[in-house]
Amino acid sequence: GAGVSQTPSNKVTEKGKYVELRCDPISGHTALYWYRQSLGQGPEFLIYFQGTGAADDSGLPNDRFFAVRPEGSVSTLKIQRTERGDSAVYLCASSLFGGSEQYFGPGTRLTVT
C-alpha cells in the first residue's frame, strides 16, 4: 500500500464503553507498532508486533488495553471500559523488520466523554 492507514480517524465514545482501533501497515512490513500521544507530548510506545506475535507489550498501561495481529498484517488495538484519561491520538507504525525505520500512520483521535 501507499502508506500506513488507520481507521477511524476520529472516535468519540462514552466512558465505560469498548473501542477498537484499526491499523493497516505498509504491505510487506513484518513489524508493527502502536503508540499513544497525549496533547503536548511526544508519542509513547505501547506495543510491538513481529509477525503475528506481540514481541513487546511493555508499554500497555493496564489490562484494559489489548492488541492483536492475527494474520501478521492488519492490527486492532482494543480498549475496554474506556476512561477519560484514555483520550489521546493513537498512532500506528510499521517497519520492514523490527528495528528498521518506522513509518507512521495519521493516527486515530480518541475522545472519551
Which parts of this chain interact with other proteins (CB under 8 A)? 31, 33, 35, 37, 39-45, 48, 50, 55-56, 58-59, 89, 91, 93, 98-99, 101-107, 109
- Residue 37 or 76: the one with the smaller Cβ distance to other proteins is 37
To other proteins, the closest distance from the beta carbon of 68 in angstroms equals 18
Burial (0-12, 13-18, 19+ Cβ within 10 Å), 25: buried
* Of the candidates 60, 65, 74, 70, the residue with the CA atom closest to the CA atom of residue 32: 74
- Residue 79 or 92: the one with the smaller Cβ distance to other proteins is 92
To other proteins, the closest distance from the beta carbon of 41 in angstroms equals 6
To other proteins, the closest distance from the beta carbon of 16 in angstroms equals 26
- Residue 50 or 76: the one with the smaller Cβ distance to other proteins is 50
Peptide bond into 43 cis (omega under 30): no
To other proteins, the closest distance from the beta carbon of 100 in angstroms equals 8
- Residue 72 or 98: the one with the smaller Cβ distance to other proteins is 98
Report the length, in residues, of the chain: 113
Number of C-beta neighbours around residue 74 at 10 A: 14
**Whole-angstrom Cα distance, residue 54 to residue 32?**
9
